[in-house]
């Protein structure tokens, strides 16, 4: 009976990737839709609109805490079973968020919803890579990550529209149902991967002391921050500086979503060809497009076009995820999960630094210069990591 369940999945790796990406659609929609529902949440839960930012931060904190914690505690859990459990936890967190009776409970439940985020994407990437041909691992990871891009392009805008029309609770309840559907499809079609009998929390935690893992995570935490520096303030930048009508806001988000989709596809292909060349190439691209956004944001049309180019910065995701698989040794789950914790760290760093420059009185599009600076920082960290790795290679091999 076990063999018959493995066969369909092994024959259809694209189906496995599609199912895993569906979970990403739910996660991305839950993470980003609240940004368009802040007013409704604030009114219903009787708080000021800026206070809803605590719920966003609470979710991000859940990602940062959950990624290493779950990876360590679930070291011996078979990957398919772990994916199902993570989706069920995510479903409970979002369905409960829709029923939250107070703002305090809502913030707490957003934290719970964020806990499985990093671990899910980390494990999903490992499962997709294992099902793919040897030379297509990064492409497989990129296709799973397309779930986040689809959430940006379709999921979050639809959830925002439905939430504003029927109540914000509808958005989170819908995400909960997507998570339940994903758990069912994983049970039916994702192949069983036997648990590693030698796995342990100690071995997974060992990823935290591997130099190449830490350098790769630092590249993501800093280098990816540039995209978030621009994206976090993209609507007020174009409305205040370029004079864009607020009604064009959904178009801006859709263009950004298209950019993330293209970035995922092409970034994964670059990584499959030559991983160690792909990462610095993508960072240089990020530096250029984010820096040019500073000038492009003076025009509505050109500014929106460059928002799409900034979205292609997501190309860094599959490359870094694959790099972590290569350098994590036996601590694969921990390293892969921490990648998404690093991205949430990048979200915080980019948004904070860009916000500081705006409060200091610089023009809104200065966020692009902040982004370029962070991309340059990621590039420096990458080459520093390579230098340290090559210097230590004769005496030690962490991989």
| Architecture category of domain 1-199 in CATH | Up-down Bundle (1.20)
Separation of alpha carbons 137 and 269, rounded Å: 10
Residue 381 has pLDDT above 60, yes or no: yes
pLDDT > 70: what percent of the chain?
A: 94
384 pLDDT tier (thresholds 50, 70, 90): very high
Q: In angstroms, rounded to a whole number, what is the distance separating the alpha carbons of residues 2 and 83?
A: 18
Per-residue confidence (pLDDT) for residue 38, from 0 to 100: 74
Average pLDDT on 310-323 reads 93
Reported as half-sphere exposure (CB side, CA atoms, 13 A), residue 239 has a value of 12
Reported as a single tens digit per residue, the pLDDT across 275-291 is 999 999 999 999 999 99
Please compute the mean of the pLDDT values over residues 119-123 and round it to a whole number: 93
Is the predicted pLDDT of residue 10 greater than 60, yes or no?
no
Position 398 confidence tier, pLDDT thresholds 50, 70, 90:
very low
Residue 274 confidence class, pLDDT cut points 50, 70, 90: very high
Work out the mean pLDDT of the chain and round it to a whole number.
Answer: 88
The domain locations on the chain are 1-199, 200-399
Domains 1-199 and 200-399 agree in fold: yes
Give the CATH class of 200-399: mainly alpha
| Chain CA centroid to CA 49, Å | 25
Give this prediction's pTM.
Answer: 0.79
Banded model confidence at residue 110, pLDDT cuts 50, 70, 90: very high
**CA–CA gap between residue 247 and residue 327 (Å, rounded):** 46
Q: pLDDT tens-digit profile of 54-83?
A: 888 788 889 989 999 998 898 889 999 999
Q: What per-residue confidence (pLDDT) applies to 394?
A: 57
């Amino acid at each position: 009976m076990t063999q018959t369940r493995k066969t369909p999945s092994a024959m259809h790796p694209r189906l496995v990737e599609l199912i895993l990406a569906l979970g990403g659609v739910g996660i991305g929609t839950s993470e980003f839709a609240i940004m368009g529902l802040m007013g409704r949440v604030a009114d219903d839960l009787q708080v000021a609109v800026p206070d809803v930012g605590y719920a966003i931060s609470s979710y991000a904190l859940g990602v940062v805490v959950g990624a290493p914690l779950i990876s360590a505690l679930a070291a011996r859990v078979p990957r398919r079973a772990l994916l199902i459990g993570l989706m069920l936890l995510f479903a409970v967190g979002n369905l409960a968020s829709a029923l939250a009776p107070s703002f305090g409970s809502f913030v707490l439940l957003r934290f719970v919803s964020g806990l499985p985020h990093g671990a899910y994407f980390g494990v999903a990437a490992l499962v997709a890579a294992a099902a793919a041909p040897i030379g297509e691992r990064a492409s497989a990871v990129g296709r799973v990550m397309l779930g986040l891009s689809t959430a940006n392009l379709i999921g979050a805008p639809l959830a925002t529209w439905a939430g504003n029309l029927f109540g914000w609770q509808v958005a989170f309840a819908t995400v909960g149902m997507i998570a339940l559907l994903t758990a069912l499809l994983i049970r039916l079609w994702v192949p069983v991967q036997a648990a590693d009998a030698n796995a342990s929390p100690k071995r997974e935690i060992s990823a935290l002391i591997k130099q190449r893992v830490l350098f790769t995570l630092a590249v993501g935490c800093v280098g990816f921050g540039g995209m978030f520096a621009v994206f976090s303030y993209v609507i007020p930048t174009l409305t205040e500086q370029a004079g864009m009508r607020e009604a064009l806001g959904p178009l801006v988000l859709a263009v950004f979503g298209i950019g993330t989709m293209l970035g995922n596809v092409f970034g994964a292909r670059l990584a499959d060809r030559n991983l160690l060349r792909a990462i610095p190439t993508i960072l240089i691209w990020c530096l250029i497009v984010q820096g040019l956004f500073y000038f492009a944001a003076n025009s509505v049309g050109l500014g929106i076009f460059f928002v799409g180019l900034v979205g292609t910065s997501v190309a860094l995701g599959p490359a870094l995820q694959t790099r972590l698989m290569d350098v994590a040794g036996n601590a694969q789950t921990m390293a892969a999960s921490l990648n998404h914790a690093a991205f949430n760290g990048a979200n915080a760093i980019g948004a904070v630094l860009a916000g500081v420059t705006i409060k200091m009185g610089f023009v809104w599009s200065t966020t692009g210069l902040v982004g370029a600076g962070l991309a340059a920082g990621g590039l420096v960290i990458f080459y520093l990591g390579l230098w340290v790795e090559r210097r230590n290679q004769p005496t030690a091999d962490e991989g």
